[in-house]
Structure 1
Amino acid sequence: MGFPRTRCAAVPAVSVAVLLAVTACSSPSTEGATPSASGPLASSAPSSSPSAEVTVDFGTAPAGDGTPDCSALLPAAAVDAVVPGARAVALADVPHVAAADWAPVVAGGSSCTSTTGVAPLDGTVLGTIDDPRYEGVRVTVLPDATAEYQDLAASGLTGVLDGGPSCSASDAAVVYCVSDVLVGDAWVQVLAQRVQDDPDTTEAALDAPFRALVEQVGDAVRTSPVTTARVDEHVDGSLPPCVADNVDAVTDTTLRWALEGTDVAPTTVEHALDRLSGASCGFVAPAESDPRYDQQQAQYDRLPNGGWAVEQRLAAGTIDRDGRIDLDGLGDGDGAWRTCDDTACTLDVVSDGGTWEHFVLMRAVAPDTAEAVERWATASRG
């Protein structure tokens, strides 16, 4: 597929943490539990707001014909055995997400997640029992992906394909479980993350329930038309590298691309983005103790044909409908909305008939966050 082999963390356990933090999951549906998170606040320092009557072209949501439903891909009992208390979540209801989470859906597949209430972007890498820690299960299905799967197998960047589902523990007191399987021509990836909050939460203890979950997911996919579905085009290229210059220009802390200088294979989400000519960039602030524990502070994504997800998030209230701003460079049918809460400001841009650009900036690195995220978006889109 031509991906640069410098995409994910070199330590297997930590690599899953990075990938889960940069990409979560979704489906075209807005069903699911609402995670605990602060709601939108009034944006400070607003730009001039365009007329509410201006029509925006959000594009059209995928039909989802023949793709497995998230209820089948996340069987409640099997998920609970891996991550107790995890419940299905619709990303339309999650304030802080990555637009890349929708890429497998736009590419004709499925993307589903269950969490205990903390989104990947909001979880601390290292923390105490009182800090927000992400725990959950993510399942993605990418159709017509035999070539991409074989490319992963030949890359030598993962041992998961040879050994089957695998769980490993990190010194951040987290167990990560990974599975990549080919069902027909569909690539099915299952990722799980659980905090080791008691002595019985070990990689050995999670191995059997995780394998049982993977088996049930495989059965759900096996009976679906997605196993033989074909896509019109496979892009033989690579995701663009991420440069922190524009976001660094508006922050008090120097950030870096989360995957810079790392070396593990791309995920199903990255392959889906490649098909769509999209982009996804997570930026972290350096940790004083160990670079493996760098905390993510900003996220940028570009998802062609993803504007329908913005429409869903506006309807759900996770994007502030009253936060619409007049961003430089927007044309007829385009729109931009800024949404701020206690911890971050996001800016969502829909342009060119449904391309979604999504900016997330944490208040910890940019005190004047509302103004800073707009300056970042303006510079990046210029």
Structure 2
Amino acid sequence: MDLGRASTYGAINSSPTISTLTLLSGKHESLQAELQRAVDKLVDLNPVLSGRVWQKAGQILLEPKAHKEFLRTVEPPKDFEKFSMGDLEGLDLQGKVKFLQTLEQSLCSPMDGCFTLGHGSQVFLVELLSLGSSIHVLAVHLSHIVGDIRTLYDLVGQLNALMRGEAPVPLIWDSDLRLSFDLFPSSLSEKDRRKLQWGILGWMVQKLCGPKRLSRVALLSKPKLAAKKQELKDGASFLSSNDVISAALSRAIRGSDIMNLAVNMREGGQRLAGNFWQTVALDHEAAKDPNAIRQHLPKRQFFKTDEMPLWPYAFGRYSFVTNWTACTCHLSIPGLTVRCHLPHSNFLKGTPTNVAVIFHVDAENLGLSHNVPPSNLDTTGLLGALML
């Protein structure tokens, strides 16, 4: 199976795996057995997940049915062997997130850190870590080569249905769009496209000379966000959460000239599996205004200057924001209570340029996971005003 042109871009090579972690509580006597059946059925429904990736004659190809094990149980760290429900109940939301961040070190997909096209790579894995009989962490990993975050959450939605004993809505893996889709907007000139490709050099410059990247999580208040959307609206019919948070990041991040935003290109309720997003490049200064983002983002073209600048890409002075909040199929298991969700930090730690992920940390709050060094992030302005 040819995975198409969209899989060859540097963003995927630098972030080979996307993962979501879910903290759950409650007793479930047959959790592992039921999860095993559901995961096996999920792979049967989506044979791509059983494959491994190879590179041949300039193409990225998938060899199906190369793997047989897709659920792995993980032993908890010794420091948490006696962690109880009482301990969990005593944590506020920030405490639960930090708890999950600590446990994620044990939930590291074998796809991370050893990904090589030449040797093949597993593309899908579910991990289960249980603390006693009442606290569970589930990690779902997907290779970015075969799918984007929408694909990951559609698979999570299918897994939820299987755990409920229902028939999941199928995904289309071999669409006509997949082989012709381009991650760069059609409005970009060939000259600007060539400048964008200098981002690979900037990635290498930051990898060799830039600061060490760590993952940090900030909690965002939905009421504060709603108030800011009304306060900052200037002529626009509405502002989205993405507009305001992206503008807050543009104001907060120092040392970056370009803000890249990911836009999902699926239409309506299309159930297309694969990589169907485009990168829209915005000038950092202009993107400080959420109304400018609202005006220009749908056009999918660079704004502020007539031509896209070269040097920010060549030196890695760019940032990337991706919004996961449109993906609402969070992992849920009958009989268990969901405590919080968190993107795995591996791809943030492994990316040498600024990356931020907007996500639902629970049903009531948003989260912002990022790898921006504290010295390069000003939280006294709009971003700080949105935090819990």
Length-normalised TM-score, structure 1: 0.31
Q: Which has the higher helix share?
A: 2
Length-normalised TM-score, structure 2: 0.30
Which has the larger Rg?
Answer: 2
